[in-house]
Chains A and B, each alone.
Chain A
Amino acid sequence: DSGVTQTPKHLITATGQRVTLRCSPRSGDLSVYWYQQSLDQGLQFLIQYYNGEERAKGNILERFSAQQFPDLHSELNLSSLELGDSALYFCASSHTGGEGTEQYFGPGTRLTVT
């Protein structure tokens, strides 16, 4: 158990809908990363937050957004969902988000868009 929690475990929804994925980092970790894992693209970095502030963006679609709250939990919002958004979404956390810090992954949320 990495100490990172994610809810829900599974999500099934229809195209055009909006969903919210939730992540709680390990105790004491200030940085949260979101990754998407699909069969054809592998694990891809989406976005990073550090202590409530956005720090870096990767291949995140404009239909997707995220935020980190004062209690450091983070939410990833996916809207106007398409079939191709079906994937595993992972959250990872690290202590500072800077040099020399390991990232620990949560169990993931499996999103199925029908």
Chain B
Amino acid sequence: QKEVEQDPGPLSVPEGAIVSLNCTYSNSAFQYFMWYRQYSRKGPELLMYTYSSGNKEDGRFTAQVDKSSKYISLFIRDSQPSDSATYLCAMSAMDSSYKLIFGSGTRLLVRP
């Protein structure tokens, strides 16, 4: 079993829809949670960064962390065709390296 599980999609939604992306994890030592957006053949771009449980909002993006359920979510409001990309969740523990453990990514397609 992988440490971080993420539905690969693809997820296809109409423009303007609210998108919900999710990851589950098994390692209770994870404390830092991130969402990255990756366009085809490009480097991952950091969207959201949260520590421990709770919500964080930035523009059209909201990240939620539920450590009791080992479940994190990213919500995208008023989705745009330019949001079409692969979304990767990533996590790290408070160990010596803070290396990131990634989910496999969810491919999102926003239809005009």
Contacts and interface: CB of A to CB of B under 8 A. Distances in A.
Interface of A: 2, 4, 33, 35, 42-45, 48, 55-56, 58, 88, 90, 92, 94, 97-108, 110
B99 A90 contact: no
Interface stretch (B19-27, B34-42, B56-64, B68-76): B34-42
A108 B97 contact: no
Contacts of B97: 48, 55-56, 97
14 contacts: A2-B43, A2-B46, A42-B103, A44-B102, A45-B100, A55-B97, A56-B95, A90-B43, A97-B97, A100-B51, A101-B98, A106-B43, A107-B42, A108-B43
B34 A2 contact: no
Contacts, number: 61
A107 B43 contact: yes
B44 A58 contact: no
B88 interface: yes
Is chain A's interface secondary structure helix, strand, loop, or mixed overall?
strand
Q: How large is the interface on B (under 10, 10 to 19, 20 to 34, 35 or more residues)?
A: 20 to 34
Given A100-B32, A100-B51, A102-B34, A90 B100 contact: no
A104 B98 contact: no
Contacts of B34: 102-103
A43 B87 CA distance: 12
A102 B51 CA distance: 11
A42 B95 CA distance: 22
Nearest to B105: A42
Interface in B62-107: 88, 90, 94-105
